Amino acid sequence: MVAFQQEDYITPQEYLQLEEKSDVKHEYIDGYAYAMAGASDAHVTVSGNLFTLLRSHVRGSSCRVFISDMKARIEKLNRYYYPDVMVTCDERDKENAVEKKFPCLIVEVLSDSTEAFDRGDKFADYQQLETLQEYVLINVKRQRVECFRRNNEGLWVLQSYTSEDNFFQLQSLNFQMEMSALYEDVLFA
């Protein structure tokens, strides 16, 4: 959630050095760092639920699940983002402890302040990650999961899940789960 932009251009190396010491997380776009705002109870709960479900699912495999404190690096565009949940199964990502460049799945939990960015420019940026197979947007105002999947032609195809579906599926990880598990303990307004 973007809240504040620093004024001076900084290099990616300067950003990483500053981020290592900062008490506040920042996303990095074209030489500028943007402070992240806090998240709502529902946002944190859904992110934690999904992390737990996916961690159990990939246990014993070469895949790793990361929650909001791990950076996704988009080298082609000179950007760093903090996805709410990210999964990588690529061995190359084991070489770097502070950023992941080869995720297969990225999940953003929507909030009023970030929804337009998550659906627009951020999604366009994530599409530059050649290993990314699925981009998922999760609504916390109602049970709705939107899965954008890259097909064999390189096009992004949307499949939506709602409470009426009972289940949602993440094809990149051969994962299926009840919607009620994803939204466990979430109080809708």
In DSSP notation, 117-180 reads HHHTHHHHHHTT-TT--EEEEEETTTTEEEEEEE-TTS-EEEEEEEGGG-EEEEGGGTEEEEHH
Do the domain assignments include residue 177? Answer: yes
Do the domain assignments include residue 146? Answer: yes
CATH number of the domain bearing residue 70:
3.90.1570.10
Do the domain assignments include residue 7? Answer: no
| Structural domain span for residue 143 | 39-182
Q: How high is the pLDDT of residue 2?
A: 41
| pLDDT average, residue stretch 176-186 | 97
| pLDDT average, residue stretch 3-24 | 78
Do the domain assignments include residue 27? Answer: no
Q: How high is the pLDDT of residue 4?
A: 44
pLDDT band at 6 (very low <50, low <70, confident <90, very high): low
Question: When comparing pLDDT for 101 and 9, which is higher?
Answer: 101
pLDDT band at 177 (very low <50, low <70, confident <90, very high): very high
Do the domain assignments include residue 17? Answer: no
Do the domain assignments include residue 4? Answer: no
Q: How high is the pLDDT of residue 1?
A: 37
Count of other CB atoms within 10 angstroms of residue 106: 27
> Could you give the number of structural domains in the chain?
1
| pLDDT average, residue stretch 161-180 | 96
Pairing assessment for the beta strands 134-139 and 156-162 based on DSSP bridges = unpaired
| pLDDT average, residue stretch 99-108 | 98
Q: What gap in Å lies between CA 137 and CA 108, rounded to an integer?
A: 5
| pLDDT average, residue stretch 78-100 | 96
Q: What gap in Å lies between CA 177 and CA 156, rounded to an integer?
A: 22
Does 46 score more than 80 pLDDT?
yes
**Cβ-count burial 155-174 (b if 16+ within 10 Å, e if not):** eeeeeebeeeeeebbbebbe
Do the domain assignments include residue 8? Answer: no
Does 31 score more than 70 pLDDT?
yes
